[in-house]
Amino acid sequence: MGQIQKNLLIVGSVSLSIIGLGLLSLIPIITQTTNLSGFAATECPIDAYTTDCRVLLGATARNYPQAADETKAQILYHEQRIGRQLDIVHTYHPVGTNKLSDMDVFFATRANTYLFANWKPTAKWADAGGSNTTINAGIDQMADSIKSIAPKKIFMTINHEPENDVSSGGTCSSYKGSSGTTDQYKAMWQNVHNRFDAKGVTNVVWVMDYMNYAPWDCVVNQLYPGDNLVDWIMFNAYGQGTETWDSKVSHLYNFLSTNSNTEHNYLSKPWGIVEWSSSNSTVAQKINYFDQAKQALETDKFSKLKAYLVFDENDGGSTTGTNFRIAYDDNGTYQQTLQDHYNAFANSPKIAPNSNSHPTGEPSFTPSPTTQPTLPPVSPTFTCLGACPTNIPTVTLAPTDVIPTVTLEPTATPTTAVTPTPDEAEPTPTPEPPIDVPQEPAPSQELPDWLNENGLLRLLIILILSLFGQF
């Protein structure tokens, strides 16, 4: 082997070693964007959910004085507080609201979000059984409204939590409701479903919504509309005081499992928690409830639950209603520690293992810029070791020949808080300034000192030219 070949071999070996060291120094930067959660899940159509599909996160929100007193602003502020976009936005439609609102359409058509419309077509179930032309017209109006956003699908329930509205028809010793019998409830559901089918509505995922309250277990089976009319089953999981998450969820979870049969095959459907929070509790008790929910989620204790929709407002949306807000204690004081513990649940890799989505609309989430190091052209001066060769080969090295380009995923940071309207007042809770959601710092892109200021490039050029000077 000639001297020139030996020199070139040495140069190549040294160069590869230096570049290899550079790549090793970049490993901490690269791995900061790697998902190491270990949770596997699949993105599924919401009308074809199985146990392999990922868990969905949802919410309704209200009564936060830091945002305007309307649902869109409150939901967006909720997303700002949790630092991620909701999969499901839960809205309520009392009797007489027979079309989706502009706010409903905004969330229903937003990418990576589903609307859950909670709708009451009538106060008396018998009126919606098919014989009342006025009520039928209202049902058709809602059908047209939902069809207009197809093919985007929405979740929908009819007269949620009907157990305490039943006047008769179950196996209970007494009843407190006045909306109608269990048979009238099922007839209403059938009529609504039939009229939607006649209108060509194919973008509704039908949800049976139960209270999960032991005294009304006596009507759960009797209210079920039928396997052919129901796509999902959801129920509440409210806790208070020292009640545990496991005890609240397991009650109806076990009831449905035990009572599943050919007449009502509950186990053939995906399940979810349609409303949950903690009330009448100390801060420590509320934190414990959130933490228990997270632990149950991450250990698959209730594996059939594929959606969790928190109720982040006061009871009835009233400023004086029972406090279910996740970030406020029962004295009306904002507690960041409560928000932090709920955020740990909402951002668990189990509930969003593959999600890099962030809220769209207001407030905006602006990615932090990723600045790549720039190496300007270098014209080094050097001294030959011995006689300088007369024909020095031209060596041109671009910065990317030495340091590979590393593309980092931006860290989403909320930049816009929703501003309360001037006339907004919140008599009970203590108003707090808009909360900036804590964000983890963007991954460092600083290179080691021996790579800064073109040190590696200069070293490599000098080494090459010095070695060439020896032949």
Q: pLDDT of the chain along its 471 residues, tens only?
A: 555 455 544 445 544 444 444 443 443 333 333 332 345 467 889 988 888 889 999 999 999 999 999 999 999 999 999 999 999 999 999 999 999 999 999 999 999 999 999 999 999 999 999 999 999 999 999 999 999 999 999 999 999 999 999 999 999 999 999 999 999 999 999 999 999 999 999 999 999 999 999 999 999 999 999 999 999 999 999 999 999 999 999 999 999 999 999 999 999 999 999 999 999 999 999 999 999 999 999 999 999 999 999 999 999 888 889 999 999 999 999 999 999 999 999 999 999 745 444 444 333 333 333 333 333 343 444 444 445 444 544 444 444 444 344 343 444 444 444 333 333 333 344 344 444 434 444 444 444 444 444 555 566 666 666 555 544
Residues of the chain with pLDDT > 70, as a percent, come to 66
Backbone angles phi, psi at 119, to 5 degrees: -125, 135
Task: Give all domains of the chain, ordered by start, each with its CATH number.
Answer: 3-34+370-468 (no CATH), 56-365 (3.20.20.80)
What's the pLDDT score for residue 318? 83
Strands (E), 227-354: 232-236, 239-240, 271-275, 278-279, 305-312
Contact 114, 87 (CB under 8 A): yes
Residue-wise pLDDT tens digits, 24-36: 344 333 333 333 2
- Nearest to 163, CA basis, from 209, 128, 200: 209
The rounded distance, in Å, linking the Cα atoms of 192 and 211 is 21
